[in-house]
Amino acid sequence: MRETVRGNPAARTAVSIALHDLVATQLEVPLYRYWGLDPAETLETSYTIGLDDLETMREKTETAVDRGYGTLKVKLGTDRDLEIVQTIRAAAPDVRLFVDANEAWTPREAVAKIDRLAEFDLAFVEQPVPAEDPEGLQFVYERSSLPIAADESCVTLADIPRIADRCDIANLKLMKCGGLREARRMISTARAHGLEVMCGCMTESNASIAAACHLAPLLDYADLDGSLLLADDLADGVPMSDGRIDLAGLERPGTGAVLDGSLD
């Protein structure tokens, strides 16, 4: 399929999800069981606090904590990054917190900012520099006081060896890598290179988020809150009460995704 449909990784992912869902559904088992994974070995997804004014970010943080989320991801890449993290940490002193610079910093700026941000007990920093600057990523990795996650630098299987000595965590996304099989290959390759693994997402409905949730037993971190950020999701999927990916609580076979009945 990669040769037939060049590019268009999201389209390939849609086909991959549909085929995996079909096979597991025909066998009347959830996808994680088809793969032989233990649903008890799951984890919670982070919840993203997007860039906004400080008061709005504080309010969103407090709401997320009140809803039970124990891991928050904070978007950075501004001239007030330190103030943002100070505000979020004050509003959520007990959660696991990591930040995503979205390629916004220069290498030297990243090192300086990370040194300042380390006092706020951050788990790691995601994509501090542009993906087209691998040497810059290595510069930051070698000098950072916090673990570094590669996102935009980690798109396909071929990227894993290139980032292996330049980060601590490989962040894969189904919509970028092209499907579930490719994602599992990336996870195995990242492990072989000594990297931790996170699965992230775009702004997506449960039609695709549900499929990614079945990878949870293979991951160290999950950033699968795409459907949680939607006002109205067209699909229901894997239960995620309080952010916990509850594969064992899934009662439907396949990926578990089902379209909202109101759309019938």
Quote the tokens at residue 74: 């904070």
Which of 126, 168, 204, 225 is catalytic? The answer is 126
Residue 113 among the catalytic residues: no
With beta carbons less than 8 A apart as the criterion, state whether 125 and 149 touch: yes
- The CA distance from 183 to 215, in Å, is 9
Question: What are the b/e assignments for 14-40, b being 16+ CB within 10 Å?
Answer: bebbeebbeebbeeeebbbbbbebebe
Which of 21, 44, 81, 100 is catalytic? The answer is 100
Residue 165 among the catalytic residues: no
Quote the tokens at residue 148: 């570094």
Which of 60, 113, 173, 176 is catalytic? The answer is 173
CA 258 to chain centre: 22
Residue 100 among the catalytic residues: yes
Quote the tokens at residue 224: 């699968």
CA distances from 104 to 49, 55, 77, 109, 180 (A): 17, 22, 5, 10, 29
Which of 21, 44, 151, 168 is catalytic? The answer is 151
Which of 60, 73, 75, 113 is catalytic? The answer is 75
Overall size of the chain counted in residues: 264
Would you name the residues annotated as active-site residues? 75, 100, 126, 151, 173
